[in-house]
Amino acid sequence: MTYRALFLDIDGTILQPDHTYTPSTQEAIRQVKSAGLDVFLCTGRPFVDIQNLASNFEITSTVTYNGAYALHQGDVIFNAPMKQEDVEKMVSIAGQSESELVLYTTENNYFTSLTNPYVKDFNNVFQLHQNKIFRPDVADKIVSASAINVTEEQVKDFEITEDYHLSKVNVPHASESYDVLRTSVNKGIAIKHMLEHLNISPSEVIAFGDGMNDKEMLQFVGTGIAMGNADSRLVEYADFQTTSVTDSGIFNGLKKLGLVK
């Protein structure tokens, strides 16, 4: 099989729980880049907060905000903001509970609170820096959102239309947090737009992920690989499961495909 592109989730896939990555991960990415594969970071994280990591791996193409914003070598290929009225409704719902929101634009992360202890923990775990208090005048610029300190009973409150569903963040932290996802906008759809732009077939693509926000990505590409630490529900959507993020999962998965030594 000839492969032309590799899409990598970040948290729980590249990054270990302590925010570091193994030397084998860096070596695996180096080897596949040398072999001519186009490597992408494909994450729920904000574009503005992954630039150091992208630089460390010399990766210049990204899919961020769970598929809402995709760039290839600096060119915007896909950009899908949320509807303003949907954002306003979610902010209202959070205001009626003990939950908080982080609402992402392509330039900043807007929080409904910056002092809430669960927000502080969330920021510490995910190392978000471009943070501001949410203002109504940015509601039409929001591309993605996460809900912080949400009980299982409250999940349905944030699923404001049939297009929305919440996916639990698969990284340990102090509260239950969820990515606010759209059926119409996800990593798989962003990758589809990217591959059409690059004239690459899905069969020529590999992807690694660990959370349910990676489901559509693993389904769409030719070879979808679940990390050893993946959400158990994700494994059925993968072609196979590699070792965990702390046990050279990316390297071992690519080695199984004969792409690294």
User: What pLDDT, in 10s, does the model give residues 145-179?
Assistant: 999 999 989 999 999 999 999 988 867 666 789 99
**DSSP designation for 42:** E
Q: Same domain for 73 and 88?
A: no
User: With DSSP H G I counted as helix, E B as strand and the rest as coil, what are the percentages for the chain, rounded to 5?
Assistant: 35, 25, 40
For residue 150, the enclosing domain spans: 84-182
In a domain? residue 69: yes
Task: Tell me whether residue 27 is in a domain.
Answer: yes
In a domain, 249, yes or no: yes
Look at the chain and count its residues.
Answer: 261
Please report the sign of the dihedral spanned by the C-alpha atoms of residue 36, residue 41, residue 47, residue 52.
Answer: negative
In a domain, 12, yes or no: yes
The helix (run of H) or strand (run of E) holding residue 119 is helix 117-126
**Cα-based distances in Å from 18 to 32, 41, 125, 135, 171:** 25, 19, 9, 32, 10
Q: Are residues 70 and 90 both part of a single domain? A: no
Write down the pLDDT at residue 174. Answer: 60
pLDDT (0 to 100) of residue 126: 84
204 shares its domain with 175: no
> Residue 127: what pLDDT?
82
> Which residues of the chain register pLDDT less than 50?
none
pLDDT of residue 172: 67
Count of domains observed in the chain: 2
Residue 73 sits in the same domain as residue 194: yes
Residue 261, domain member (yes or no): no
Same domain flag for 172 and 99: yes
Query: 182, 210, 237 — which closes off a domain?
Result: 182
pLDDT of residue 170: 67
